[in-house]
Amino acid sequence: MIAIGSDHGGYELKEAVKKHLENRGLEYKDFGTYSKASCDYPVYGRAVAEAVASGECDRGILICGTGIGISITANKVKGIRAALCSDCFSAQATREHNDANILAMGARVLGEGLAMKIVDTFLDTPFSGDERHLRRISMIEE
Ligand code: RB5
């Protein structure tokens, strides 16, 4: 189950990502926002992060205008490694090296085509499991 959320700045891209996940046959839970009305990104960043941290959802996708505010918020939740990605290389590397559990994107930064490639790369890339990466990830929580 993928947790997805955005503020108003990311609403349209969130809806497009939902369609994309449906086309791939992937289940998601939408934590809002549910319209283009102005709202506060920490509400949605925290809701998705808590759903992932609690194990209710396996991964998360968060979108705001830049992806910055919502990723900062998500990273305040213990156990969350939210990666703000604007390219496929970073999306692949953050899965392999950081075992990132939330992808954050900026809707005012990315075109829709690139955003979907980033989503696919993030969802389809496994964590390497290498000892050095496990060690570094465990150091984040210390
Ligand atoms: C909303 O205008 C905008 O500030 C928000 O979507 C995000 O970019 C914040 O980091």
Provide the 10 A C-beta neighbour count for residue 86. 17
Q: How far is the CA of 69 from the centre of ligand 1 (A)?
A: 6
In angstroms, the first-to-last Cα distance of the chain is: 28
pLDDT for the residue numbered 116 = 98
Q: Quick one: pLDDT band at residue 142, thresholds 50, 70, 90?
A: confident
Indicate the helix (H) or strand (E) that contains 85: none
pTM above 0.85, yes or no: yes
Backbone angles phi, psi at 81, to 5 degrees: -125, 90
Q: What CATH number does the domain containing 127 carry?
A: 3.40.1400.10
Give the residue whose CA is nearest to atom 6 of ligand 1.
Answer: 65
pLDDT for the residue numbered 141 = 87
What does the pLDDT look like over 14-58, one tens digit per residue?
999 999 999 999 999 999 999 999 999 999 999 999 999 999 999
C-alpha to C-alpha distance for 21 and 1, rounded to whole angstroms:
11
Domain that holds residue 116: 2-141
The tally of domains found in the chain comes to 1
* Residue to probe by mutation, ligand 1, list 11, 38, 66, most atoms within 8 Å of CB: 66
- Asked whether 82 lines ligand 1 (CB < 6 A), one says no
What does the pLDDT look like over 75-89, one tens digit per residue?
999 999 999 999 999
- Asked whether 9 lines ligand 1 (CB < 6 A), one says yes
